[in-house]
Amino acid sequence: MTEDLSWNAGDEYSVPVPGGELAVTRWGEGPATPVLAVHGITANGHAFARVAAELSRLGGPPLIAPDLRGRGHSGHLTGPHGLAAHADDMIAVLDSHGVRRTVLVGHSMGAFVSCLAAVRHPDRVAGLLLVDGGYGLPVPPGTDIEAVLGPAMARLRMTFEGPDHYREFWRRHPAFTKGWNTWVDHYVLRDLVGEPPAMRSACDEDSVRTDGEQVISDPEALGAVHDLPCPARLLWTARGLMDESPGLYTPERLAGLPEKVDVVELPDDNHYSPLFSSTAALVAEQIHTLVQ
């Protein structure tokens, strides 16, 4: 295991939202307006811990990252389901900080949530950084989220003897076999709940399924990137969720993306690695550019 920066767990607290309390982590201090980071479909807010550290090293603003309802330390908070509920939760997080307007950073499904938040609340979102998500692609008729996510959905129904067992499960994941580090380790273990020998993912399967189906087929969620009221940039990775090539996006697949969305290829990354590898420094630089 290697560490390129010192691990920082951040400051944790909760924010009232419909149905309960949303867990939120903040990294960084100071008077600058925080940026808001939105994680992927089976992830948690600590996916952005390294990006936050890199942003701090640049002298950038604080970063706040909730665990979305049904994930991480918000795993107990399920309904209301859906991407619109997440988008509205993000506004509640901004309200809790007294933030009137800021930049949103979304990874994977979180990029769709960020686009939707910008369209539904245009006065609250100053800019968007989308990391390998936010732009929907056609899927064959009858495709469901089980077919798209596959192993990720199966994991939600598995049990694990303890933290070491869960860690080894993830270390075998093709996207992480060559890039395991402290950042990945803390992120993975945040997802583990319950007691040995029957621990499990914190993700609520119903929440994941509802959100995933909307990413595939919901007109409002898919159309949001075409109606953005603010500057946006999409960072896309050459390899996919299982480190396969090509990944979710290619130049040909991105041909229908609105011209107002800037595009940057990450040729050496898979779907997950920009948040955990040295590429996190580039992500932080992109955030810094949008903030200035």
Domains and CATH numbers, the chain: 11-291 (3.40.50.1820)
Give residue 2's pLDDT.
Answer: 37
| Sequential pLDDT tens for the chain (292 residues) | 334 588 999 999 999 999 999 999 999 998 999 999 999 999 999 999 999 999 999 999 999 999 999 999 999 998 899 999 999 999 999 999 999 999 999 999 999 999 999 999 999 999 999 999 999 998 888 787 888 887 889 999 999 999 999 999 999 999 999 999 999 999 999 999 999 999 999 999 999 999 999 999 999 999 999 999 999 999 999 999 999 999 999 999 999 999 999 999 999 999 999 999 999 999 999 999 999 8
Three-class secondary structure assignment of 138-168: CCCCCCCHHHHHCHHHHHCCCCECCHHHHHH
Q: Give the separation between CA 169 and CA 20, rounded to whole angstroms.
A: 31
Give residue 127's pLDDT.
Answer: 98
Give residue 249's pLDDT.
Answer: 97
Classify 29 as helix, strand or coil: coil
Q: Give the separation between CA 74 and CA 51, rounded to whole angstroms.
A: 21
Residue among 87, 68, 28, 51 at smallest CA distance from 191: 68
Classify 33 as helix, strand or coil: coil
Query: What is the C-alpha end-to-end distance of the chain, expressed in Å?
Result: 35
Residue among 13, 137, 131, 4 at smallest CA distance from 65: 13
Give residue 1's pLDDT.
Answer: 35
Give residue 4's pLDDT.
Answer: 52
